[in-house]
Amino acid sequence: MRFLVIGDVIGRTGRRAVKEVLPSLKEKLSIDFVVLNGENLAHGNGITKPTFEEVITAGVDVITSGNHTFDKKEVYTIIDDERLLRPANLPPLAKGKGFNTYEKNNKRITVINLMGRVFIGIPLDCPFRTFDEIYNKVKDTSDYIIVDFHGEATSEKQAFGYYVDSRATLVFGTHTHVQTSDERFLPKGTAYISDVGLTGAYDSVIGIKAPQIIEKFITGMPVKYEPEEGRYIFQALFLDTEEKKLKRIQIKEGESYEL
Amino acid sequence: MRFLVIGDVIGRTGRRAVKEVLPSLKEKLSIDFVVLNGENLAHGNGITKPTFEEVITAGVDVITSGNHTFDKKEVYTIIDDERLLRPANLPPLAKGKGFNTYEKNNKRITVINLMGRVFIGIPLDCPFRTFDEIYNKVKDTSDYIIVDFHGEATSEKQAFGYYVDSRATLVFGTHTHVQTSDERFLPKGTAYISDVGLTGAYDSVIGIKAPQIIEKFITGMPVKYEPEEGRYIFQALFLDTEEKKLKRIQIKEGESYEL
Amino acid sequence: MRFLVIGDVIGRTGRRAVKEVLPSLKEKLSIDFVVLNGENLAHGNGITKPTFEEVITAGVDVITSGNHTFDKKEVYTIIDDERLLRPANLPPLAKGKGFNTYEKNNKRITVINLMGRVFIGIPLDCPFRTFDEIYNKVKDTSDYIIVDFHGEATSEKQAFGYYVDSRATLVFGTHTHVQTSDERFLPKGTAYISDVGLTGAYDSVIGIKAPQIIEKFITGMPVKYEPEEGRYIFQALFLDTEEKKLKRIQIKEGESYEL
Amino acid sequence: MRFLVIGDVIGRTGRRAVKEVLPSLKEKLSIDFVVLNGENLAHGNGITKPTFEEVITAGVDVITSGNHTFDKKEVYTIIDDERLLRPANLPPLAKGKGFNTYEKNNKRITVINLMGRVFIGIPLDCPFRTFDEIYNKVKDTSDYIIVDFHGEATSEKQAFGYYVDSRATLVFGTHTHVQTSDERFLPKGTAYISDVGLTGAYDSVIGIKAPQIIEKFITGMPVKYEPEEGRYIFQALFLDTEEKKLKRIQIKEGESYEL
Ligand SMILES: [Fe+2]
Ligand SMILES: [Fe+2]
Ligand SMILES: [Fe+2]
Ligand SMILES: [Fe+2]
Ligand SMILES: [Fe+2]
Ligand SMILES: [Fe+2]
Ligand SMILES: [Fe+2]
Ligand SMILES: [Fe+2]
């Protein structure tokens, strides 16, 4: 099975990157299943029905999210769509669902969305034990288990990878909007990366207009953030489970790339 | 000189408390100078011109603030009013000013607004050194120095008190919306309290509707907070510098109290 | 039933305060049951067998704790003592237990220790749901339920109070080492205070030598903290469930006090 | 000029990697100047004289550090060595120095060590303004300015990069122990990477034994961390200022690599 997972997609420029890159990339790499972190789809924060549908139409199978899932109220109209996940370790009273099993090519793929707790100011259940509980429910009915671990601290993300090593097919981190180069197969076989990175404006601070974030840091006053525009970067991770191939992808608009 | 300092005033109920309590209290205690933390005056977050004027008219001399100073854009119309302060240890590029000297009864009173850095997610300069700098500027032209130290951690607030002991007339903490009972004269004479407390709805969670804050904690989803209404509590601290008297004040609507 | 709960007891000076004050106070107020937060008993951090026994001998029934429970390895020799609790919302794999039911005067008293999650860097389960689970286990076999909610943020502590209002007999906050003056009976009857405060050296920063904490803040370098000595303050909360009386207690060494 | 900067070096395995890789790498790439972040040199935390000298002898010119600089008291014996830096935005009372200018090949190279403030629990001055101050002092006497920005949040690191773009020769992030793949020349010419990564045990959680970090997360109790051993990874960034070449380096023990 060939998976592609796409890091946090930021606003209009990020969506444009998905639409321009994904269809041909799926063909070139014969990709079977695509997961995309969509918490920043709608103008940098949250998800709306049109932005959700825009990337689904481009070829995404499942959209995961994170701390920005509920930033835009419009998300409530699609929160029960089976292709949309929010972190499974939100409290049980949170709307939406944290994992789901999908069928593709006669295989059952379970996608689990989790969120780290270090430096994330949201009341969350333990992601380690939440994984254990979900795993026990789905292990006998899943051919592949894919985890989006949305988190800040590298120690927590890597510790989680080792914790689920051999049980998950792939653990990919999201949230920092910066791709890491630590992709690998862990000792017992789980494919892992700390962060898939950013799909959005290249000349930006994590997808946002640089002057706005600088202004926040040097004035200490509230600043409205807006997604940067212009040239995009598309960042993703490709996993071929048969060929045991794991490859980071970075495609800059207008530049050639090798796969 | 007789000072009254009033803790974070929350929304309409808090402003009503100020208007109903302050005028007669000033008379009874022959208060010369009143400082009020107003960061939550406008519907629980921020300050507007009408809410600013409402409490000034009720008898307040200076309004200090904190992490919510700039929550409402309307504050920019009054940010240069000499009676409004924001934390002095915001970066130099922040709008507004952090201290000022006022004349009352032929005495010069300098009020300094500072913010603690522990658990406060704002880029702030060192409040200890910022005090030193301001102190060196104003010490020869001030008869009294009053500090509103807006902060979360008790260790930082008490450490600051000891750090400025003998140099400041009074250090009063704000921000937690809960009054502490540790008012005292520090060893070298500075009057001190860790938090003056709340002026707002009594049956509330720090001035806000309890069910809303509970919902946030048990669902992990965004919840809009609104100030609670109903019976008020008015919390303040009274300092008489001549008589060396320092007294916490708690006035619950409809209940008698002793001064 | 008459309860006394004692705030964080800091080091040798705190233990001395307990030994000098508690026996006569129990007699004067005919106290039936005493709970004491002991996370700082042993030189300011952690608990050892001798310090544990010292306060038990002075008349304490149950010792609760918090983020410093395991600071000293010696605690493992007493962690299974039925009179010692650690936060119940630590992960299930943590040593020790988070609640217990005690018999006194033919009544069954359940004491629950919980820890808040805001600004506390420890991986904790939801204290709200942990309370629900324990409550369902013990409600039919408990005459009184006492909760030590060890936490930093006033919003979380007060929200918890309202959440368990009518279910708990008493919720008392600990951890900030500063007593708050918001003790009250909540609308449905639960007795509540945000923080019981400090039992330790009076002329200190939260029980620690002031110059050491100041040094930490102004140098940014590691500083070893030691409990301050000298005159003590003893802070506690008294609840008489029959007479519906709730009273904060502050006893400064060498000063008279009224009860 | 050809620079090599090496990410956080963790314990004995990290030092071994430096000794085995650096000398030949310097030769192959004709490297003129080497900076290494050494805050974790001594058994994973802090720096001692022998560990300092070990990497200096291997060919390092300057050792920068971060939040662990003062973890081991032994550092005070070398803190005034001109080749050792600690973050320049520590308070002025902190021991050591935050920048220095070195001569190499008749060129003057200023190295500045800064620390980010987001999610870092240390009282720090503004790194943006600290850079401005240092820059104004050294710009006329420096041919190259190299900045180690030790920080957690990607937004702060990238914002800093844009803030100093054209003024610094190179900004390299450290602290997360995971290499990022966002190396680039910023629009005005400054070379940048968010994190150089880890030099230490490859099969580890950020250089530490995985089971220990997992235990911390799933038990909530204190766990002693120790550096992992075994196969190393050496991570660095190479900058050739003349050829405008910027290249990430990852060398795994026992594997071939291309430069
Ligand atoms: Fe994101
Ligand atoms: Fe996120
Ligand atoms: Fe406030
Ligand atoms: Fe505040
Ligand atoms: Fe404590
Ligand atoms: Fe504590
Ligand atoms: Fe490090
Ligand atoms: Fe670090």
Place of tokens 């894919």: A146
Residue A51's CB is within 10 A of a number of other CB atoms, namely 25
Bridge partners (DSSP) of residue D146 are D111, D170
- Determine, yes or no, domain membership for D259: no
- Determine, yes or no, domain membership for D258: no
Asked if A178 and D158 come within 8 Å (Cβ–Cβ), the reply is yes
pLDDT at D90 (0 to 100): 98
A48 and A74 Cβ atoms separated by less than 8 Å: yes
pLDDT at D259 (0 to 100): 81
Per the annotation, does D175 bind a ligand? yes
Of the candidates D89, D91, D31, which has an alpha carbon nearest to the alpha carbon of residue D61? D31
pLDDT at B259 (0 to 100): 81
Q: Which of C91, C121, C126 sits opposite A91 (nearest CB)?
A: C126
Q: DSSP code of A168?
A: B
D64 and D174 Cβ atoms separated by less than 8 Å: yes
pLDDT at C258 (0 to 100): 83
A51 and A42 Cβ atoms separated by less than 8 Å: yes
pLDDT at C5 (0 to 100): 98
Cα C58 versus chain centre, distance:
16
Contacts of B134 (CB under 8 A, 6+ apart): B88, B98, B99, B110, B112
Q: Dihedrals φ, ψ of B227, to 5°?
A: -60, 140
pLDDT above 70 covers a percentage of chain B that reads: 100
C110 and C170 Cβ atoms separated by less than 8 Å: no
Per the annotation, does C39 bind a ligand? yes
Query: ipTM value of the model?
Result: 0.97
Containing domain of residue B31, as a range? 2-252
Q: Which of C187, C194, C195 sits opposite B203 (nearest CB)?
A: C187
Q: Which of D91, D123, D126 sits opposite B123 (nearest CB)?
A: D126
From the CA of B44, the nearest ligand is: 3
- Determine, yes or no, domain membership for B257: no
Is the per-residue pLDDT at B258 higher than 90? no
Q: Dihedrals φ, ψ of C17, to 5°?
A: -60, -45
Contacts of A208 (CB under 8 A, 6+ apart): A10, A44, A225, A226, A227, A228, D155
Per-residue pLDDT of chain C (259 residues; tens, 9 = 90+): 999 999 999 999 999 999 999 999 999 999 999 999 999 999 999 999 999 999 999 999 999 999 999 999 999 999 999 999 999 999 999 999 999 999 999 999 999 999 999 999 999 999 999 999 999 999 999 999 999 999 999 999 999 999 999 999 999 999 999 999 999 999 999 999 999 999 999 999 999 999 999 999 999 999 999 999 999 999 999 999 999 999 999 999 999 988 8
Both tokens of D74, joined, read 């032994």
pLDDT category of residue B176 using cuts at 50, 70 and 90: very high
Residue A242's CB is within 10 A of a number of other CB atoms, namely 7
Per the annotation, does B40 bind a ligand? yes
A80 min Cα distance to partner chain D (Å): 31
Please report, for residues A76, A179, B45, B63, D31, the alpha-carbon distance to residue B226 in angstroms, rounded to integers and kept in the order given.
Answer: 22, 39, 9, 22, 61
Which secondary structure element, helix H or strand E, spans residue D149, and what is its range? strand D144-150
Contact residues, chain A, for B220 at CB < 8 Å? 90-91, 93-94, 122-124
Please report, for residues A205, B26, C194, D80, the alpha-carbon distance to residue A228 in angstroms, rounded to integers and kept in the order given.
Answer: 8, 54, 45, 44
pLDDT digits 0-9 by tens, B51-79: 999 999 999 999 999 999 999 999 999 99
pLDDT at B122 (0 to 100): 94
pLDDT above 70 covers a percentage of chain A that reads: 100
Of the candidates A256, A255, A193, A252, which has an alpha carbon nearest to the alpha carbon of residue A3? A193
| Reduced DSSP (H G I as helix, E B as strand, rest coil) percent helix, strand, coil of chain C, to 5 | 25, 30, 45
D82 min Cα distance to partner chain A (Å): 30
- Angstrom distance (rounded) from CA B103 to CA C24: 52
3-state SS class at B212: helix
3-state SS class at A166: coil
- Determine, yes or no, domain membership for C259: no
Asked if D187 and A197 come within 8 Å (Cβ–Cβ), the reply is no
Total number of domains in chain A:
1
- Determine, yes or no, domain membership for A129: yes
- Determine, yes or no, domain membership for A164: yes
Please report, for residues A1, A186, A246, C53, the alpha-carbon distance to residue A242 in angstroms, rounded to integers and kept in the order given.
Answer: 6, 16, 11, 62
**Which residues of chain A carry a pLDDT beneath 70?**
none
Q: Please provide the distance, in angstroms rounded to a whole number, between the alpha carbons at the two ends of chain B.
A: 17
C168 min Cα distance to partner chain D (Å): 26
Cα B49 versus chain centre, distance:
18
Both tokens of D220, joined, read 């909530």
Question: Using only C-alpha atoms, what is the Rg of chain D?
Answer: 17
Q: DSSP code of C179?
A: -
Which one is catalytic: D2, D12, D68, D86?
D68
- Determine, yes or no, domain membership for C167: yes
- Determine, yes or no, domain membership for B24: yes
The CATH number of residue C166's host domain is 3.60.21.10
Hey, of B152, B165, B166, B205, which one would you mutate to test binding to chain C, going by the most C CBs within 10 A of its CB? B205
From the CA of B196, the nearest ligand is: 3
- Angstrom distance (rounded) from CA C206 to CA C204: 6
Beta strands in chain A (DSSP E): 2-6, 8-9, 33-37, 62-64, 99-104, 107-115, 144-150, 170-174, 184-185, 191-193, 198-201, 232-240, 245-252
**Which residues of chain D carry a pLDDT beneath 70?**
none
Is B68 among the residues known to form the active site? yes
**What's chain B's average pLDDT?**
98
Q: Is A127 on the interface with C (CB under 8 A)?
A: no
Q: What angle do CA D232, D194, D169 make, to 5 degrees?
A: 105
Residue A198's CB is within 10 A of a number of other CB atoms, namely 30
Q: Is B91 on the interface with D (CB under 8 A)?
A: yes
Of the candidates C7, C15, C17, C31, which has an alpha carbon nearest to the alpha carbon of residue C194? C7
Asked if C162 and B119 come within 8 Å (Cβ–Cβ), the reply is no
The interface residues of chain A toward chain B in range 13-72, judged by CB-CB distance below 8 A, are: 70-71
Q: Please provide the distance, in angstroms rounded to a whole number, between the alpha carbons at the two ends of chain C.
A: 17
Bridge partners (DSSP) of residue A4 are A34, A238
CA of B100 to the centre of ligand 3 (A): 21
- Angstrom distance (rounded) from CA C118 to CA C132: 19
- Angstrom distance (rounded) from CA B155 to CA B147: 17
From the CA of C151, the nearest ligand is: 6
Asked if B152 and C155 come within 8 Å (Cβ–Cβ), the reply is no
3-state SS class at A201: strand
Contacts of D32 (CB under 8 A, 6+ apart): D1, D2, D3, D104, D105, D107
pLDDT at A106 (0 to 100): 97
Question: Using only C-alpha atoms, what is the Rg of chain B?
Answer: 17
Q: Is D156 on the interface with B (CB under 8 A)?
A: no
Which one is catalytic: B12, B15, B68, B86?
B68
Both tokens of A119, joined, read 């430096």
- Angstrom distance (rounded) from CA C121 to CA C85: 20
- Angstrom distance (rounded) from CA C1 to CA B242: 45
CA of B39 to the centre of ligand 4 (A): 7
Cα B130 versus chain centre, distance:
18
pLDDT at C222 (0 to 100): 96
